[in-house]
């Protein structure tokens, strides 16, 4: 880095007066103090990669200190001001270690993690000219919204300094529901479908777009339990079923601490017909969930 070339000049005045014994003790004390400073700087930095810059710059500084403070013909300092100037120069060199770490890049996301999330589920049912016996369905966006939440656990693999691949499992609960009713003047039927527990597996591929922030794409599978109830004016019916969905979308994750990060995702869960085509003896029904979630992750 740029400041390394000038380190020798910064320490140029770093010679101590007095007999060799005093010089040796003073030199050892300065090196010890510098080592303590280096250790404390590393301890305060949240990202391991930043300490690499400290290690490299520390070696350069240590060599310069050793050379400048062990001269065979020490130059006597004229007064206290010159001595204070010497110590000031040494302090500047130590601060340069910290400055040199600013060029170090943060590590990509890697390792195991667990997290919790809250989501807004927006289910949508579409049907065009679908005959279900008592009527022909022609729906353009029959929707049902609800708040959900869940837990997730996963592992990220660093592919390079800026790329990573992760696998993840999740368990969620949704409060979303959809209600509808049909009446042809002679017969009527009303129904309600509620989404409940869901479980899924997915993978993500991401890239660091800043020191602590990554953009990623996600794809996977989700299985959700749906509870359906219907009333035809005389009898009530109810059923439960698990439906599988293809999941795809994107997200953004950023570090807010050494082990903590927050993320926001937008995912589409494509359930096909969610079993409605089979249950109603129809074709052309499709069910999707547009899911927006906010999560907090902890890495260990």
Q: For 210, list phi and psi in degrees, rounded to 5.
A: -155, 175
Give the C-alpha separation, 87 to 65, whole Å: 12
Q: How many residues does the chain have?
A: 300
Token reading at 13: 């005045």
* Across 274-281, average pLDDT: 54
Quote the pLDDT of residue 13. Answer: 40
Work out whether strand 163-174 and strand 177-183 pair parallel, antiparallel, or are unpaired: unpaired
Sign of CA dihedral 48, 50, 54, 57: positive
Lowest mean pLDDT among 77-91, 216-230, 249-263: 77-91
* Axis-axis angle for helices 48-68, 80-100 (nearest 10): 150
Per the model's pLDDT, the better-predicted residue between 143 and 22 turns out to be 143
Quote the pLDDT of residue 232. Answer: 72
Kindly indicate the confidence band of residue 270, based on its pLDDT and cuts at 50, 70 and 90: very high
Flag whether pLDDT at 1 surpasses 50. Answer: no
Per the model's pLDDT, the better-predicted residue between 32 and 271 turns out to be 271
Question: Which of 288, 291, 268, 264 is closest to 146 using CA atoms?
Answer: 291
Give the C-alpha separation, 254 to 264, whole Å: 9
pLDDT tens per residue, range 61-119:
555 555 555 554 444 445 555 555 655 565 565 555 545 444 445 689 999 999 999 99
Flag whether pLDDT at 262 surpasses 60. Answer: yes
Quote the pLDDT of residue 23. Answer: 62
Quote the pLDDT of residue 11. Answer: 39
What's the number of CA atoms in the CB half-sphere (13 Å) around residue 229?
A: 8
CB contact at 8 A, 5 and 81: no
Q: Percent of the chain, pLDDT > 90?
A: 39
Quote the pLDDT of residue 266. Answer: 98
Q: Percent of the chain, pLDDT > 70?
A: 54
Quote the pLDDT of residue 228. Answer: 81
Per the model's pLDDT, the better-predicted residue between 205 and 19 turns out to be 205
CB contact at 8 A, 176 and 194: yes
CB contact at 8 A, 292 and 106: no
Q: What's the CA dihedral at 235, 236, 237, 240 to 10 degrees?
A: -170
Q: Is 289 helix (H, G, I), strand (E, B) or coil?
A: strand
Over the chain, what is the mean pLDDT?
74
Q: For 40, list phi and psi in degrees, rounded to 5.
A: -70, -35
Q: For 189, list phi and psi in degrees, rounded to 5.
A: -150, 140
* Across 183-201, average pLDDT: 82
Distances (CA, A) of 156 to 25, 108, 128, 274: 49, 9, 42, 31
Lowest mean pLDDT among 25-29, 89-93, 187-191, 235-239: 89-93
Token reading at 186: 């002679």
CB contact at 8 A, 200 and 219: no
Kindly indicate the confidence band of residue 21, based on its pLDDT and cuts at 50, 70 and 90: low
Quote the pLDDT of residue 47. Answer: 45
Quote the pLDDT of residue 74. Answer: 44
**Cβ neighbours around 203 below 10 Å, total:** 14
pLDDT tens per residue, range 124-173:
887 665 555 545 555 566 778 999 999 999 999 999 999 999 999 999 99
* Across 249-265, average pLDDT: 97
Q: Is 105 helix (H, G, I), strand (E, B) or coil?
A: coil
Give the C-alpha separation, 123 to 134, whole Å: 24
Per the model's pLDDT, the better-predicted residue between 75 and 244 turns out to be 244
Q: With b meaning 16 or more CB within 10 Å and e meaning fewer, what string describes 114-130?
A: ebebebebebbbbbeeb
């Amino acid at each position: 880095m740029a400041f390394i070339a000038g380190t020798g000049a910064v320490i140029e005045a770093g010679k101590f007066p007095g007999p060799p014994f005093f010089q040796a003790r003073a030199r050892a004390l300065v090196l010890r103090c510098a080592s303590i400073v280096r250790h404390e700087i590393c301890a305060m930095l949240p990202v391991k990669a930043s300490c690499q810059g400290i290690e490299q710059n520390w070696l350069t500084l240590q060599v310069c200190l050793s050379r400048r403070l062990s001269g065979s013909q020490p130059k006597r300092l004229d007064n206290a001001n010159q001595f204070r100037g010497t110590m000031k120069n040494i302090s500047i060199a130590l601060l340069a270690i910290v400055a040199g770490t600013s060029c170090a890049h943060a590590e990509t996301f890697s390792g195991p993690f667990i997290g919790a999330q809250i989501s807004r589920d927006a289910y949508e049912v579409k049907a065009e000219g679908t005959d279900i016996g008592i009527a022909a369905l022609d729906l353009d966006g029959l929707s049902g919204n609800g708040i959900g939440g869940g837990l997730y656990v996963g592992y990220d693999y660093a592919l390079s300094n800026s790329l990573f691949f992760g696998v993840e499992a999740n368990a969620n609960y949704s409060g979303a529901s959809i209600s509808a009713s049909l009446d042809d003047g002679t017969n009527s039927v009303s129904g309600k479908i509620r989404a409940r527990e869901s479980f899924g597996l997915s993978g993500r591929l991401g890239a660091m777009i800043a020191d602590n922030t990554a953009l990623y794409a996600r794809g996977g599978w989700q299985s959700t339990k749906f509870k359906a109830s219907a009333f035809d004016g005389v009898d009530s019916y109810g059923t439960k079923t698990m439906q599988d969905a293809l999941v795809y979308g994107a997200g953004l994750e950023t570090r807010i601490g050494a082990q903590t990060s927050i993320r926001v995702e937008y995912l589409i869960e494509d359930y096909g017909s969610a079993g409605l085509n089979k249950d109603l003896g129809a074709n052309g029904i499709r069910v999707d969930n547009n899911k927006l979630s906010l999560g907090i992750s902890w890495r260990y």
